[in-house]
Amino acid sequence: MRILMLTNEYPPNIYGGAGVHVEHLSREILQLEDGVKRLDIHCFGDQEQAGEKGSVRGAAGPDARLSGLRHPKLLDALYRNLSMVGAADDADLIHCHTWYTYLAGCLLKQIQAIPLVATIHSLEPHRPWKKEQLGNAYYATSWLEKTALEGADGVIAVSEAMKKDVSRLYSVNEDKIRVIYNGIDKDRFRKVERPDIPASYGIDPDKPYVLFVGRITRQKGILHLVRALPMLDRGVQAVLCAGAPDTAEIGREMETRVKDARGRTKNEILWIPETIPVHDLAALYSHAAVFVCPSVYEPFGIINLEAMACATPVVAAAVGGIPEVVAHDQTGLLVPFEPGPGPEPKDPEKFAADLAGSINLLLRHPEKRNRMGIAARKRVEERFAWDRIAGLTVSYYKELAALCGRERRSA
């Protein structure tokens, strides 16, 4: 089979879970013995690679003639989609990731008369805060998502929770949706005994620390964690590896919340806004007492797998696909989440207090943390290795190609 994969993010331009997914999935697909004949990847950027079994081609953004127009982020994506359509070679199947590439996927499905597969990493209706970034163009991205999912021959959901959401929101038949989890590079993320690395970031090696890693966005719930920090037991550090705010407004809100939290606790709150290199990140995970994921919306949560692969227990909100990743009271603790208006918690103070309570519970029981860490690594190795995910994905490609072929012959 010749596969055409369309994505916004691809190395070196990765900023979220979808990009991590595409990077590892594409690499593992090419390493399968019974994989695909060719894998061509079209992405946003200026990448240009050619190999025996595939290629990578970046789609550049619009030139100056489009500058000054309204809705620039949407127009930029649509422009690149049209470039992808014009540059795509013939294939046997198209695999799209996120709304950023759905226009190209839908057009190429018609032009080449081949099956379209869409992997759902998140759903626009569950991310209303995107309107802060896109304005009314947010409604266009939701329409693109709806159109692509309804017209796709197959849909890959990264969790059972996501499968249910896709079916409910877009009336997609569940028989057309296949659940294939995200994976983790278990060699890249593993326990790293390097206390000098956390120390190089200003972390006191003699005190336990609670770790957060993620973007400053409503989705990741970072502001709720900051609200919880003054409730933590004395003698613990909070390390927030948090950067790339979605908007200037949330960036300022983060600054205000951190300043307020520092004024209400004797514990140190260390905020690291720059991106942490992967090897250093593995060491930060490994030496953390607890990793915290306070997300208010998380279709899967690769970040939890990274911590678990480093044998670190997780405290996470029980939302979306997280309960399928974090086994409660085995590899970490799940914090109940009662949604309010939109995706925010109904009672933010209670949610913050519940986060703090679960973190404190693990901080007070080192032996429990150690048992959870061992169980977390084992769970990652058994269920979330990328070679397994790649094999399931290629099997789905073949199944869809055969099914669509039969349908065309009988039409």
Judge whether 149 and 120 are in contact, CB under 8 Å. Answer: yes
Tens-place pLDDT, residues 15-31 = 878 898 999 999 999 99
For 368-393, b/e burial (b = at least 16 CB within 10 A) is ebeebbebbbebbeeebbbeebbbeb
- Same-domain pairing of 248 and 285: yes
pLDDT for residue 226: 98
Instruction: Kindly state whether residue 247 falls inside one of the protein's structural domains.
Output: yes
Per the structure, the complete domain to which residue 31 belongs is given by 2-183+385-410
**Res 344: pLDDT:** 85
Which pLDDT score, from 0 to 100, does residue 409 have? 55
Q: Residue 255: left (phi > 0), alpha (psi -120 to 50), or beta?
A: alpha
Residue 103 in any domain: the answer is yes
Render pLDDT for 369-386 as a digit per residue (tens, 0 to 9).
Answer: 999 999 999 999 999 989
Number of H helices, E strands in the chain: 15, 14
Does 291 share its domain with 341?
yes
Do 211 and 309 lie in one domain? The reply is yes
Q: Are residues 266 and 333 in the same domain?
A: yes
Give yes or no: residues 99 and 125 share one domain: yes
What's the CATH code of the domain at 241? 3.40.50.2000
Nearest Cα to Cα of residue 243 among 397, 402, 74, 15: 15
- Based on the fold, state whether residues 79 and 219 are members of the same structural domain: no
> Is residue 327 in a domain?
yes
For residues 230 and 306, membership in a common domain is answered with: yes
Per the CB < 8 A criterion, the answer to whether 334 and 317 are in contact is: yes
Q: By C-alpha distance, which of 348, 340, 301 is closest to 323? A: 301
Q: How many domains does the chain have?
A: 2
Q: Is residue 134 part of a domain?
A: yes
In the numeric block, the tokens 């304005």 are attached to 135
How big is the chain by its Cα radius of gyration, in Å? 22
What pLDDT does 252 receive? 95
- Asked whether residue 191 is domain-assigned, the answer is no
Q: How far apart are CA 26 and CA 43, in angstroms?
A: 12
User: How far is residue 270 from each of residues 219, 355, 400, measured CA to CA in Å?
Assistant: 21, 18, 49
12 and 108 assigned to the same domain = yes
Strand order in the sheet with 54-59: 48-50, 54-59, 38-44, 2-7, 93-97, 116-120, 154-157, 177-179
- Whether residues 137 and 270 share a domain: the answer is no
- Residue 216's nearest CA partner among 243, 238, 241 is 243
Q: What is the pLDDT of residue 407?
A: 64
Q: Name residues whose C-beta falls within 8 Å of residue 49's C-beta, 6 or more positions apart in sequence.
A: 55, 56
- Per the CB < 8 A criterion, the answer to whether 111 and 92 are in contact is no
pLDDT in tens, 125-137: 777 777 777 889 9
Helix axes 17-31, 386-410, angle to 10 degrees: 80
Count the neighbouring beta carbons within 10 Å of the beta carbon of residue 287.
23
**Exposed/middle/buried for residue 281 (C-beta within 10 Å: 0-12, 13-18, 19+):** buried
Q: Based on the domain organization, do 232 and 203 belong to the same domain? A: yes
Q: Which helix (H) or strand (E) holds 237?
A: strand 237-243
- What DSSP string describes 148-187? HHHH-SEEEESSHHHHHHHHHHH---GGGEEE----B-TT
pLDDT (tens digit, 0 to 9) for every residue of the chain, 411 residues total?
Answer: 999 999 999 999 988 788 989 999 999 999 998 778 999 999 999 999 998 899 999 999 887 666 778 888 899 999 999 999 999 999 999 999 999 999 999 999 999 999 999 999 988 877 777 777 788 999 999 999 999 999 999 999 999 999 999 999 988 999 999 999 999 998 999 999 999 999 999 999 889 999 999 999 988 999 999 999 999 999 999 999 999 888 899 999 999 999 999 999 999 999 999 989 988 999 999 999 999 999 998 889 889 999 999 999 999 999 999 999 999 999 999 999 998 877 789 999 999 999 999 999 999 999 999 999 999 999 999 999 899 999 999 999 999 999 887 666 555
Q: For 340-348, which contacts have Cβ atoms below 8 Å and span 24 or more sequence positions?
A: 342/128, 342/129, 343/126, 343/127, 343/128, 343/129, 343/218, 343/219, 343/296, 343/297, 344/218, 344/296, 345/224, 345/296, 348/224, 348/227
* Same domain as 213, residue 92: no
- Give 342's strand partners: none
Q: Kindly report, residue by residue over 50-97, the tens digit of the pLDDT.
A: 988 999 999 998 876 667 788 888 999 999 999 999 999 999 999 999
pLDDT at 86: 96
